Amino acid sequence: MAPEQLFRARRAVVGGREVAASVRVRDGVIVAVESVTADPGGAELVELAADEVLLPGLVDTHVHVNEPGRTEWEGFASATRAAAAGGVTTIVDMPLNSIPPTTTVAGLEVKRAAARTQVYVDVGFWGGAVPSNLADLEPLHAAGVFGFKCFLLPSGVEEFPELSAVGLANALEETDRLGALLIAHAENGAEITDASGRDYAGFVASRPPSAERSAIERLVGTAALIGARAHVVHLSAAEALPAIRTARADGVRLTVETCPHYLTLTAEEVPDGHTEFKCCPPIRDAANRDLLWEALADGTIDAVVSDHSPCVPELKRFDTGDFGEAWGGIASLQLGLSAVWTDARRRGLDLATVVGWMAEGPARLVGLDRKGRIEPGADADLCAFAPDETFEVDPARLWHKNPVSAYAGRTLSGTVRRTWLGGVPVDLEAPPRGRLLRRGDA
């Protein structure tokens, strides 16, 4: 562990607002938040620059690492380096795209073994809920997964099939019995049509907002009947917001996330054939984007997480630009904070609000009470963020394994200059020192 430290910042996000503060750290844990003029005593003084803000490390609960099995898409070393470079100090890895998927305890242990010596930030794991593994949910829960991911339509990989209506009800009954969280990719496959060709508008039309709305209504209705807790991942369609608001008003235990690409990119600006922008559900129009921002502001959406879903460049089919053939996923783990902050400041929102969505909100979702905040008792996971510094995104300079980015060439505001994990600076060239987390690790 590091010796006692005192982080002194003219600007720090503490308790939902920006203040001048000193943060005292002992054995990797925040022990006090003091005056900016506090005497370090015998502590090592870490003084932030005048243009830097001390933030809690972000928590990203929607990351596809893909190792083992598809490690060439993204692995633990590259993903967690990218996370740290973007101010993210905790990720929770999705149960699919790796082989084997995390649908059994054996699969979870394979994943943990692959990760154990490679992680530069703290890493937890979701379990998966698929038609064949209802009996595996309890052992996975006991083994420490943070909840269970399911699909309500084909996932895109054959080893992780979707749940039927009966399967969804069975899974929700079991997760409710366990006191666990079920998270769902909610699109209705019956409303989705085949898309092909270079026309982005055609691709968006093939996955209409109603496909999200009707699937979310099915999830909500089933969760309400059972009394179970449910979460909607990567909300794209603002058309679903009224149903979400009604469900919450009726007492359904429902939470919702969206992603940086839905908040910062628009269908109108996606050039035909540029499949780096393909994701499912799709990036929609500017009016839809504005409604998502409003839903964040009023609390309808609880968190902003990356849905970092990379692949090798060949799978994006840059040779043809065919949106029907290309893999759907946006790689943005390193860029999420800067992307969201760039648009948030244009809308008159402050940095503390963004931190609430990207650190406290995701930590609360998975019960990591010691993550995502600067307060006594929290882990000293911190980053120094320069909100006024701008940079142009060059995919080749990112830590992601493959140089593919929907943000290529965009100018973003805000750079992460330093990141600390448990009070220790994260050195991306040194051996990693992140931990593997289990549910219940506060």
Sign of the Cα pseudo-torsion (171, 176, 178, 183, in order): positive
Tokens of 57: 């490390």
pLDDT digits (tens, 9 = 90+) for 136-168: 999 999 999 999 999 999 999 999 999 999 999
pLDDT digits (tens, 9 = 90+) for 322-372: 999 999 999 999 999 999 999 999 999 999 999 999 999 999 999 999 999
pLDDT digits (tens, 9 = 90+) for 78-121: 999 999 999 999 999 999 999 999 999 999 999 999 999 999 99
| Mean pLDDT along residues 39-62 | 97
Residue 294 Cα to chain centre, angstroms: 20
Q: What is the pLDDT of residue 180?
A: 98
Class of domain 57-367+390-413: alpha beta
Residue 242 has pLDDT above 70, yes or no: yes
Percent of the chain with pLDDT over 90: 98
| Mean pLDDT along residues 169-181 | 98
Residue 202 Cα to chain centre, angstroms: 28
Q: What is the pLDDT of residue 2?
A: 55
Q: What is the pLDDT of residue 440?
A: 83
- Evaluate the omega torsion of the peptide bond into residue 425 and state whether it is cis, within 30 degrees of 0: no
Residue with the two structure tokens 């079991």: 174
Residue 308 has pLDDT above 90, yes or no: yes
Percent of the chain with pLDDT over 70: 99
Q: What is the pLDDT of residue 441?
A: 77
Residue 255 has pLDDT above 70, yes or no: yes
Q: Residue 34, Cβ neighbours under 10 Å: how many?
A: 14
* Overall residue count recorded for the chain in this entry: 442
pLDDT digits (tens, 9 = 90+) for 215-237: 999 999 999 999 999 999 999 99
pTM for the structure as a whole: 0.97
CA distances from 278 to 4, 62, 332, 406 (A): 47, 17, 13, 9
In sequence order, the 6+-apart residues with CB closer than 8 A to the CB of 180 are 137, 141, 147, 148, 229
Residue 294 has pLDDT above 80, yes or no: yes
Amino acid type, 344: A
In sequence order, the 6+-apart residues with CB closer than 8 A to the CB of 161 are 130, 131, 132, 151, 154, 155
Parse the chain into domains and list their residue ranges.
Answer: 57-367+390-413
